[in-house]
Chain A
Amino acid sequence: MRNDTSDIFFKYFLALFPCLILLLVGGILYQLLSSSSLAIHKFGFKFFASRTWDPVIDEFGALPFIFGTCLTSFLALLIAVPIGVGSAIYLAEYAPSSVSKAISMLIDLLAAIPSVIYGLWGIFVLVPLMRNNVQPFLGKYLGFLPFFQGPNYGVGVLSASIILAIIIVPFIISISREVIMTVPKVYKEASYALGATRWETIQKVILAHAKVGIFGAIILALGRAIGETMAVTMIIGNNPNMTFSLFSPGYTLASVIANEFSEATSEMYLSALIEIGLVLFIVSIVVNILARLLIWTVTSGESLALKTGV
């Protein structure tokens, strides 16, 4: 390898950009910590454990919002991952290339729809459907489970999770499909030559090769689900209660900030809302680390960063 000064200059020049990202994250963390110091000093760890959110008496706790964010994101993944990965496998392996290309283009279009549009669709189409058809059905046949009990409003945790799933599914399909398509053709041909069926090839060769990338797609989608604000706010019912009934209204971290920030007048109130932002930041990091650990164990230590670039 020949080295010259322009090369060295270019290396350090490029290194500036990741440093900017570090600076940005550090700056966000510093700002969140300093602006929420009032609430941090007053509530301490109680902030994470308290269920009271009362702006009138300046008493704040984040637990119902943490619960709501984690529950809706988890449910959204539960719905979106099978649909997303299944579609990606079909599009990459089975569909004729013209169909695959056309559908992929539509999926990329879906990913570009603003979430307020999804929210409006949720209010006018999904919520009535959930209230009149889906939830009564679930209540009737699965009502023995605690998840499908309680009054049926249409808005609530289940509807919000479905909206979230619809929002994140295009990300999972789009990235997973790209990753599956990068599996070298010779691997597949070798597998067929050994007498494997198509399903065996997908399972043992393609998915084995692409799983790190697919997990990367899921993590990206999870990040989107945790931070999604407007569509969830419009559908979830905005009530900070904590039950395992998916019919009941809930509340998420991002929603409470979006709802209350503009009218927060007292210093303590504002500080508590910013601490909610800090909690959201922490929840995102913790969930990301957990997801990466999970992948790390599943893929037995293959370098995730190298293959997905995330």
Chain B
Amino acid sequence: MKKVLAFLVAVAVASVAWANSLLINGAGATFPYPIYSKWFDEYAKTNPGLSFNYQSIGSGGGIKQITAGTVDFGATDGPMTQDQINEAPGRIYHIPMVMGAVVVSYNLPGVKTGLKLSGDVLADIYLGKITKWNDARIASENSDVALPDQGIVVVHRSDGSGTTFIFVDYLSSVSPIWKGKVGKGTSVNWPVGLGGKGNEGVAGLVKQTPGAIGYVELAYAKQNDLTYAYMKNSSGSYIEPTLESVSKSAEGVVIAPDFRVSIVNSSNPAAYPISSFTWLLIYKDMHDHAKGEAIVNFIKWAVTDGQKYCESLDYAPLPASVVGMIQEKIKQVKY
């Protein structure tokens, strides 16, 4: 139904716009939707005759649509698997556009933002091994906080989501038990906990339930004034999730040339550990010259001038080193 509707809307928009302008169709991740629509809007102002139509149907949908060739570009929060890449009719490029992070929120009466958590403690909470807030392992990291003798209510996303992917990717990278028992994906087989639908579902459950812990996007947590934990990174420092500490995750680390790289638990000592890129998916060889040129020019603009819109929308900008890599990569696109 959604797809049919999206198709009908696309047809309607296309038939109006077709007369004298170029329409670029895209579909995919919901997480970057606010910044993408801001970009499309701003970019269209300086490029009359060009318009974008982006359907935020989810990362999985974006991958399916670009593989089927029904859209000119896709967008995803988790990189495509090797199987998915092999299935596509042409070579697909992953282009990082912006960075996001997942924060751990909690509801503990009397405890404000800044509870300190390490990755293995978080993994054991989500595995159901740590069940009380005053557990010795949480207490040893938070000697200055009076932790109540309260049961932990674990909350996770019930819908498949890029946010979940980033979160469990992180848990897999810090906990071998999590990696073996649960693994990573946009939906996983959660050992314990309640499922809330969407960021708002998780935030609602966490806000209402005393003793709850959940994870939401950084932007969502900031805009809704949620409490969040400082996470221990690979260098042993507890890092507050901020736009700077998220950007740091991709700085000074080795980035694979195809950009299909996980940057959770980054080795940068100032990095917030639960961070990720969000990618645009395009074909290396574009058959439509006009569209190909427009998409490439748009990407060049978005990763440079466009990054200034990040902050007001609570996305973390790409570090300069990554922008340089993208500019090199994009030269290889043929149209």
Interface residue ranges, A against B (CB under 8 Å): 52-57, 123-124, 127-128, 131, 151, 153-155, 233-234, 237-239, 249, 251, 255, 258-266
Asked whether any CB of chain A lies closer than 8 Å to the CB of B161, the reply is: yes
Nearest residue (CB) in B for A265 is B60
A-contact bits for B206-218, CB 8 A (1 contact / 0 none): 0011000000000
CA distance A249 to B196 in the complex (A): 11
Asked whether any CB of chain A lies closer than 8 Å to the CB of B111, the reply is: no
Q: Which residues of B contact A258 (CB under 8 A)?
A: 159
- Cβ distance B288 to chain A, nearest Cβ, rounded Å: 26
A-contact bits for B196-207, CB 8 A (1 contact / 0 none): 110001001100
With contacts defined as CB atoms under 8 Å apart, how many contacts are there between chain A and chain B in the complex?
92
Interchain residue pairs with CB less than 8 A apart (25):
A52-B189, A54-B189, A55-B186, A55-B189, A56-B185, A123-B208, A151-B153, A153-B209, A154-B209, A155-B194, A155-B205, A237-B195, A238-B196, A239-B194, A249-B194, A258-B159, A259-B158, A259-B195, A260-B159, A260-B187, A262-B57, A263-B60, A263-B160, A265-B81, A265-B186
Q: Which residues of B contact A155 (CB under 8 A)?
A: 194, 205
Inter-subunit contact A262/B61 (CB<8 Å): yes
CA distance A155 to B184 in the complex (A): 26
Q: Which residues of A contact B188 (CB under 8 A)?
A: 54-56
Inter-subunit contact A239/B190 (CB<8 Å): yes
CA distance A90 to B33 in the complex (A): 52
- Cβ distance B35 to chain A, nearest Cβ, rounded Å: 20
Inter-subunit contact A259/B190 (CB<8 Å): no
Q: Which residues of A contact B63 (CB under 8 A)?
A: 265
Interface residue ranges, B against A (CB under 8 Å): 2, 57-61, 63-64, 81, 83-84, 151, 153, 158-162, 182-190, 193-197, 201, 204-205, 208-209
| Residue of B61, B81, B160, B183 with most chain A CB atoms under a 10 A cut-off | B160
- Cβ distance A150 to chain B, nearest Cβ, rounded Å: 12
Q: Which residues of B contact A123 (CB under 8 A)?
A: 201, 204, 208
Inter-subunit contact A262/B189 (CB<8 Å): no
- Select which of B2, B153, B182, B184 is within 8 A of A262 by beta carbon: B2
- Cβ distance A301 to chain B, nearest Cβ, rounded Å: 40
Inter-subunit contact A239/B186 (CB<8 Å): no
- Select which of A233, A238, A260, A264 is within 8 A of B194 by beta carbon: A238
Nearest residue (CB) in A for B212 is A153
CA distance A122 to B151 in the complex (A): 24
- Cβ distance A111 to chain B, nearest Cβ, rounded Å: 22
- Select which of A53, A131, A151 is within 8 A of B151 by beta carbon: A151
Inter-subunit contact A262/B190 (CB<8 Å): no
For the complex with contacts A262-B61, A263-B187, 11 further pairs of A-B residues with Cβ separation under 8 Å are A55-B187, A56-B184, A123-B204, A238-B197, A259-B158, A259-B159, A259-B195, A263-B159, A263-B162, A263-B186, A265-B59
Nearest residue (CB) in B for A234 is B197
Q: Which residues of B contact A261 (CB under 8 A)?
A: 160
Q: Which residues of A contact B185 (CB under 8 A)?
A: 55-56
Q: Which residues of B contact A263 (CB under 8 A)?
A: 58-61, 159-162, 186-187
Inter-subunit contact A233/B209 (CB<8 Å): no
With contact pairs A131-B209, A259-B160, A260-B159 given, residues A265 and B84 touching in the complex (Cβ less than 8 Å): yes
| Residue of A55, A131, A155 with most chain B CB atoms under a 10 A cut-off | A155
Nearest residue (CB) in B for A233 is B197
CA distance A239 to B187 in the complex (A): 12
Q: Which residues of A contact B153 (CB under 8 A)?
A: 151, 153
| Residue of A155, A258, A262, A265 with most chain B CB atoms under a 10 A cut-off | A265
CA distance A163 to B64 in the complex (A): 35
- Select which of B2, B60, B160, B208 is within 8 A of A154 by beta carbon: B208
- Cβ distance A144 to chain B, nearest Cβ, rounded Å: 22
Inter-subunit contact B160/A262 (CB<8 Å): yes
Which 9 A-B pairs have CB atoms at the shortest separation, nearest pair first?
A263-B160, A238-B195, A238-B158, A262-B58, A54-B189, A56-B183, A263-B60, A263-B186, A265-B60
Inter-subunit contact A262/B60 (CB<8 Å): yes
CA distance A260 to B158 in the complex (A): 8
Q: Which residues of A contact B158 (CB under 8 A)?
A: 233, 238, 255, 259
Q: Which residues of A contact B84 (CB under 8 A)?
A: 265
CA distance A123 to B194 in the complex (A): 13
